Amino acid sequence: MSDLKPSEIVRELDKYIIGQAKAKRAVAIALRNRWRRRHVDKTLRDEIAPKNIILIGPTGVGKTEIARRLARLTDSPFIKVEASKFTEVGYVGRDVESMVRDLVSLSISMVKAREQEAVKGKAAEIAEERMLDILLPESKDRQTQKAGEPYTDLKPVGEEASAPSTRDKLRAMLRGGKLDNRFVDLEVADRSIPMVEIFSSAGMEEMGINFKDMLGGLMPRGSSKKRKVKVSEAMEILAQEEAQHLVDMDKVVREAIEKVEQSGIIFLDEIDKIVGKDGGHGPDVSREGVQRDLLPIVEGSTVTTKYGPVKTDHILFIASGAFHSNRPSDLIPELQGRFPIRVELDSLGKAEFVRILMEPKNALTVQYTALLKTEGVDLCFNDEAVEEIAKAAEEVNRQTEDIGARRLHTIMEHLLSDVLFDAPDIDEKQVCITRQYVNNKLKDIRDNEDLSRYIL
């Protein structure tokens, strides 16, 4: 768990997200409260519930990015789900508990990858010994080389080949990469399992998993197949196998579930789409039902997963929505009460777009410059050009649909399409984007509102 102060969290978020100070403060406080809870006396710790947040604002203003960066800061399991994809129990579709199961699977992958990285050195050593055993098998196991096949053994092939000196020489050659292009026959596990899909009302993910496990018990264990691979590839396969063997999966599962329960973050996007309209007919009929299904999970309940029960009491839920035609107060009262913090994000204008283009570590101008650098082209943007791009984005957002900073992607791609296409062939390796260049490329589209709707 990160022990960053709220001000430090905000500074880290500032590196990637422009503006939205209120939203950054809210998530920074929520994150720090988690750290505080872990240091509270045990008798009170379980009583302190997370203060879930609703981020309100149009698309492209940074709602998802704030939550995603927050999770990366703390190495927390993070998953983004769209609330509109869930259906009430009894309808065909995904049930709300699936987001917790997905979060657990993601957490297990994170912890397992970290554990495998920790034993990488040991796994490489064991893989090296296994490879030497393949290259220098015992004489009784040697088979006559068939004509036309790649060598799977090396000279000398007599009894002296198994002597320690030969093994040491072979080890030196293996480490020096001199054997990388040789071929060996390698036994690899056959992981192919029949695909099983089941359609039903609730808990289908778990039912499908258990059904596959049951089928797996009817199939032969330890089945493998022989592949002819290069030594370099074989070493990677063997190292991965050994790393998996060295990792204690029981420990991984315990740690992953604890991470989910104590520091998991679920980002519920489009929560405004499950606010039912008056009447409750047709496709709207299950919307309030989805809210009621969400309630116990947000409130705190135990979800059954194939790795064991998982408590959701201290998972942080960050919901977001544009709320164009409705308000957070239109959610059912019980769910409203579980999202006590509400933050409205600001719409983005020209000033913000200029900063977004230039300031963040992953700014679009930095990305395109790096992309073209791979072709030997030096791309630069002068300040006036950046202002003109920002101005164009603001205008198009105002005239058509406001999609926030995502408008910059469409404009930049159109603006640089010729350079990106011709980059491998152009003789002039220095390209500077000026205000005149921007105006020439965008003039016709900006003047024609109908055209801008299609292109930008």
In this structure, whether the domain defined by 350-455 belongs to CATH 3.40.50.300 is answered with no
Instruction: With cut-offs at 50, 70 and 90, classify the pLDDT of residue 9.
Output: very high
* pLDDT greater than 50 at residue 301: yes
CB 345 within 8 A of CB 67: no
> What integer is the mean pLDDT of 38-60?
89
* pLDDT greater than 70 at residue 140: no
**pTM, 2 dp:** 0.78
For residues 116 and 248, give the distance between their C-alpha atoms in angstroms, rounded to a whole number.
10
Instruction: With cut-offs at 50, 70 and 90, classify the pLDDT of residue 134.
Output: confident
| Sequence ranges of the domains in the chain | 6-113+255-344, 120-246, 350-455
Instruction: With cut-offs at 50, 70 and 90, classify the pLDDT of residue 92.
Output: low
* pLDDT greater than 90 at residue 167: no
- At 223 the pLDDT is 61
CB atoms within 10 A of CB 240: 14
* pLDDT greater than 70 at residue 89: no
| Tokens representing residue 278 in the block | 């008056």
Over the chain, what is the mean pLDDT? Answer: 82
* pLDDT greater than 60 at residue 41: yes
Strand order in the sheet with 53-56: 78-82, 265-269, 316-321, 53-56, 341-344
Q: What are φ and ψ of residue 50, in 5° steps?
A: -70, 150
CA distances from 421 to 153, 389, 415, 425, 431 (A): 49, 20, 12, 9, 13
**Among the listed ranges 90-99, 120-129, 231-240, which one has the minimum average pLDDT value?**
90-99
Instruction: With cut-offs at 50, 70 and 90, classify the pLDDT of residue 91.
Output: low
* pLDDT greater than 60 at residue 11: yes
> What integer is the mean pLDDT of 377-403?
90
CATH ID of 6-113+255-344, from 3.40.50.300, 1.10.10.10, 3.90.1150.10, 3.10.25.10: 3.40.50.300
**Among the listed ranges 9-18, 90-99, 403-412, 438-447, which one has the minimum average pLDDT value?**
90-99
> Tens of pLDDT along 424-454?
988 888 999 999 999 998 887 777 777 777 7
Higher-pLDDT residue of 301 and 195 is 301
